[in-house]
Chain A
Amino acid sequence: MIALENAAYNYGGGELLSDISLRLAPGSFHFLTGPSGAGKTTFLKLCYADLQPTSGRVTIFDRDVRTLTRDDVALTRRRIGVVHQDCQFLDHLPLAANVMLPLTVAGKMGDAQDVSDLLGWVGLSQLADARPPSLSGGERQRAALARAIITGPDVILADEPTGNLDWEMSLRLLTLLVELNRMGKTILIATHDLNLIRQAKAQVAARVLRIRNRRIQLAGADL
């Protein structure tokens, strides 16, 4: 699905990520950990073609991101659900319209029932008509997850999706992601919440990647 070969990235002040080689196989479940500032968000941006590697190669759905036109990037993003760390919404539209946005921009009619089911799943049924600025951090993150999965993407990338959630809600969200994985979706979650990772390992065969010294390594049983 997504493959990196000797990929490196640098914002201009020395390499942040170096010599990264990794394949996200279809149906796999990965966690990505590392201290704050290690480059987790940057890594995810490489995976959804928001950034291009400064060296090496990133391939998404078998296409080198350097060969993608702007329209190709748009089409690629429709197949990847991303929960962004800063979860941005269109503040002038109600939450339900925001959750449907990926369908809207793709020219598809959203099924109102699907949207309300999805909002129910993430516990936001009451807030379908609320404007995003009035939501709490946790509510925004749940809404961001709903928006990420509404198109039924093949891959789901989540950047600190439980950062603002209490433990109970974190577990609910994890359960949802595990369920999506069982349906065949490829999942990558960036988090520094080790409890969440332990909890997940009890439910699914998840691999844990750790960014250390600009490189990615597979974490062992030390978690």
Chain B
Amino acid sequence: MTRGSFDNPLKADLHADRVVPPTGFTARLTVFTSLAMTFLAVFALALSMAAGRLAERWSDSLQGTATIRISAPQDQIDTQVAAVLALLTVTPGIASARALEDQEQRDLLAPWFGPDLPVDALPLPRLIEIKEDSAGYDAEGLRQRLTAEAPGAVLDDHTRWRRPLAVAASRLRLLGVTSIILITCAMGAMITLAANAALAANLQVIRVLRLVGAKDTYIVRAFVRRFTLRAFSGAIAGALLGMGGVALLPGVDEAGGFLTGLGFQGLGWLFPLLLPVLAGIVAFAATRFAAFRTLKGLP
């Protein structure tokens, strides 16, 4: 049989389309379902793309830098700083290292404690900023040698707090992708229901078509074309509405937080336009499956 053959649902086959009468509420159900589902999918897509950007930014900006914190009694601290800097110059994988000036440390702390912090009077640790080269250094080995050379030095390679953030961001992206998959499946299920209702309401029409010599593929095409076009047009409307909603969200820089980064950037705006195509493919497959199954049960 010709079940495996490909029927172009957009082929202008007006006769095939007209032999099935207008299918009332199933038509509206299909358009509405695809509109609503695509609208939701646009947000899920925005979420996962924003989360993806965030995960990348966090890993990129932190990649290759680390800090060594030295806490020691006032009289030993300069010796230890010198010892650590000396050690770092001979450690493979370190591109550069420098002790932060008092003013730099003050700037770093200012957001938390205000500009008038008496740095000199406080027993603040001294900070050494290191940059690794492309090969990278052995963090565990460096820690052991630091303990030996400068007992007050602690290596903070950022991974401790970078990792959970990056993990959270990629989980969020996974959540967005999962949502899109679930939305797609729900849409497929709803369209299958709508198509089954339309087929059940038209059993008499199908019977007449069979009696005058219509092949199954001809009858299936009439239904498939209809549902595919409806799902596609509903999804176009849903995608445009969803993109409008995303465009109306506040811009990235206004408050700098995560939520304001929820949007599409540049070519990313093209991705939501793929959703109607996906909706059309889902409707095509769902209707085709439902129609062939119904026809198989008929004489």
Contact = CB atoms under 8 A, between A and B. Distances in A.
A74 B210 CA distance: 7
Interface residues of A, number: 26
Contacts of B215: 70-71, 74-75, 105
Contact of A106 (B2, B207, B210, B213): B213
Contacts of B295: 70
Contact of B212 (A51, A71, A92, A105): A105
A91 B18 CA distance: 12
B160 interface: no
Most buried by A among B2, B22, B204, B213: B213
B244 to A, nearest CB: 38
A23 B249 CA distance: 78
A118 to B, nearest CB: 15
Contact of A84 (B15, B205, B211, B214): B211
For the complex, would chain B's binding face be called helix, strand, loop or mixed by DSSP majority?
A: helix
Contacts of B216: 70-71, 74
A101 interface: yes
B1 A101 contact: no
14 contacts: A69-B1, A71-B1, A71-B217, A74-B214, A78-B213, A82-B211, A90-B19, A90-B205, A92-B22, A101-B19, A101-B209, A105-B19, A105-B215, A106-B213
Interface of B: 1-2, 15, 18-19, 21-22, 204-205, 207-218, 295, 299
Interface of A: 50-51, 69-71, 74-75, 77-78, 82, 84, 88-93, 97, 101-102, 104-107, 147, 151
Question: Which 5 pairs between the two chains have the least Cβ-Cβ distance?
Answer: A105-B214, A92-B21, A78-B213, A77-B213, A102-B212
